Amino acid sequence: MRPPATPATVRLHGDLAAPAELTVPQLRELPAERVAVTFDCLSQGAQHHGFEGPLLWDVLRAARPRIDFAGRKQRLGHLLAVTGADGHRAVLSWAEIDPDFGGQRILLATSIDGRPLDEAGPQLVVPADGCGARYISGVTAVWLGPLPAEVGVVSR
Ligand SMILES: Nc1nc2c(c(=O)[nH]1)N[C@H]1C(S)=C(S)[C@@H](COP(=O)(O)O)O[C@H]1N2
Ligand SMILES: [Mo]
C-alpha cells in the first residue's frame, strides 16, 4: 500500500498577528466561492476551468493582517507575494483584494474542475487576469508585507 502523502500546506506569513500553516481541508472550512474562468497561456492557448475555494481576502483576514483598517490610505503600501511549489511567484497589491478598492474575488482554490487539490496544494485564481500566469498552482506560501519605506523616495 502506498504510504499517505504528506499533506500540502500553505504558509501565511509576514505582517500577520496570527500567521498560520493551512492544509487544503482547513481552507475548505472557510466559505467557498465557485467561479468559471477563461485565461490565455502564451504556450498553450485558451484554457477554461471551474474553481472552488475561499476568497484570499477571507484567508488573510483570519490571519489578522497588521494593517490599520481605520483609514484607507494606510493600506495601499501593502503587497502580497504568492509562491508555488516550483518557485513560480507573483505579487498582488493589497488593494486588488480589498473590498474598498478593487475587491476582486481572488481565490485560493481547493479544487479545479471538481478535482480536489489536497495533495497538489491550492491554486491562486485571479478571474480578472487575461493571462494565466498568476493562476499559481501548488501554492506553498502567501506573504503580506509593506512596500519598503525608501521605495519611490527621490533624494536630490
Ligand atoms: N506553480 C506554478 N503555477 C503556474 C505556472 C507555473 O509555472 N508554476 N504557470 C502559470 C501559467 S503561465 C499558466 S498559463 C497557468 C496554466 O498553465 P498549466 O496549464 O501549465 O498549468 O498556470 C500558471 N500557474
Ligand atoms: Mo502561461
What is the tens place of the pLDDT at every residue in 68-95?
899 999 999 999 999 999 999 999 999 9
pTM of the model: 0.96
- Cα–Cα distance between 66 and 6 in angstroms, integer? 31
- Cα–Cα distance between 121 and 138 in angstroms, integer? 4
pLDDT at 3: 57
Nearest CA to ligand 1 atom 3: 136
pLDDT at 120: 98
User: Using one digit for the tens of pLDDT, what is the confidence trace for 104-124?
Assistant: 999 999 999 999 999 999 999
Percent of the chain with pLDDT over 70: 97
Which residues, by Cβ under 5 Å, contact ligand 2, an ion? 41, 132
* Average pLDDT rounded to a whole number, residues 52-74: 96
Q: Is the pLDDT score of 152 beyond 60?
A: yes
Number of helices (H), then strands (E), in the chain: 3, 11
How would residue 62 be classed by pLDDT, with cut points 50, 70 and 90?
very high
Length of the chain equals: 156
pLDDT at 1: 60
CATH number at 9-146: 3.90.420.10
- As given in the structure block, the three cell numbers for residue 107 are 481565490
Domain ranges of the chain: 9-146
- Cα–Cα distance between 90 and 1 in angstroms, integer? 38
Q: Is the pLDDT score of 142 beyond 70?
A: yes
Identify the residues whose C-beta falls under 6 Å from ligand 1: 41, 44, 47, 84, 86, 88, 132-133, 135-138
Ligand lying nearest the CA atom of residue 136: 1
> The cell 493562476 sits on which residue?
135
How would residue 156 be classed by pLDDT, with cut points 50, 70 and 90?
confident
